Amino acid sequence: NAGVTQTPKFQVLKTGQSMTLQCAQDMNHNSMYWYRQDPGMGLRLIYYSASEGTTDKGEVPNGYNVSRLNKREFSLRLESAAPSQTSVYFCASRDSLNQPQHFGDGTRLSIL
Amino acid sequence: QKEVEQNSGPLSVPEGAIASLNCTYSDRGSQSFFWYRQYSGKSPELIMSIYSNGDKEDGRFTAQLNKASQYVSLLIRDSQPSDSATYLCASANQAGTALIFGKGTTLSVSS
């Protein structure tokens, strides 16, 4: 069972470059999420998609865009990367309201 | 801004002891609560879900919920060195559409 798959696992960018992080789930879940995790800051929600065709901002959306391509896939785009966006990015999905989220393995992103 | 608060620790317990992890949340409308375990360099892994006041047991883990006090706890009995990790508490927002995570408590179990 693949669950939630994130690509790439590691990436180094230069300031100003753009990049798309990919996430796909094979559990037929309705909702998908993007988080960033920084030391001492916990998991912070960037964007989420409660269902196919909808997206909403989370706590820290500035500098990011998302696309819910279909029910399986939810991508996160950095249009002009900044060093402050150096972080570990996690994608998660869940089936329905008030159910637990299942996480991918994460993407470790460094911006120089 | 709705929040989930946890003591960052580290919480240190000897092998075989009971580890008690605590969490408070600010959104009175939250209906679901979760405990995740995260090993260093890994992704969060679901341990327990709890939706009703009282205790819920699963093996060595017991989750406790008190909605009146807005308090959630996780007890780990017979703690093992393999339990050493960061434990994240999360509550769903009132609409149930997203989770709010605490910053986590680091647990260290010594053999």
User: Mutation test of the interface with chain A: which of B43, B46, B50, B56, choosing the one with the most A Cβ atoms within 10 A?
Assistant: B43
Using CB atoms, which residue from A48, A104, A106 is nearest to B98?
Answer: A48
Residues from chain A contacting residue B1 (CB–CB below 8 Å): 59
Q: Which residue of A has its CA nearest to B31?
A: A98
In terms of DSSP bridges, do strands A42-49 and A56-57 run parallel, antiparallel, or are they unpaired? antiparallel
Q: Are B23 and B71 in contact (CB under 8 A)?
A: yes
The predicted model gives A75-94 an average pLDDT of 97
Confidence of residue A34 (pLDDT cuts 50, 70, 90): very high
Give the list of residues 6+ apart from residue A39 with CB closer than 8 angstroms, or none.
none
pLDDT at A1 over 70: no
Confidence of residue A104 (pLDDT cuts 50, 70, 90): very high
Confidence of residue A96 (pLDDT cuts 50, 70, 90): confident
**What DSSP letter does each residue of A55-92 carry, written as one string?**
-EE-S--TTEEEEE-SSSBEEEEESS--GGG-EEEEEE
| Residue A3, token pair as written in the block | 């669950």
Contact B97 A31 (CB under 8 A): yes
Task: Give tens-digit pLDDT for B49-75.
Answer: 999 999 999 999 999 999 999 999 999
Q: Whole-angstrom distance between the N-terminal and C-terminal Cα of chain B?
A: 40
pLDDT < 50 regions, chain B: none
Give burial (CB, 10 Å; 0-12/13-18/19+) of A1.
exposed
- Residue with token string 């006041």: B53
Using CB atoms, which residue from A40, A42, A100 is nearest to B101?
Answer: A42
Q: Are B31 and A98 in contact (CB under 8 A)?
A: yes
Whether chain B has a CB inside 8 Å of the CB on A42: the answer is: yes
Q: Which residue of B has its CA nearest to A49?
A: B97
Give how far B29 is from chain A: nearest CA, Å.
Answer: 12
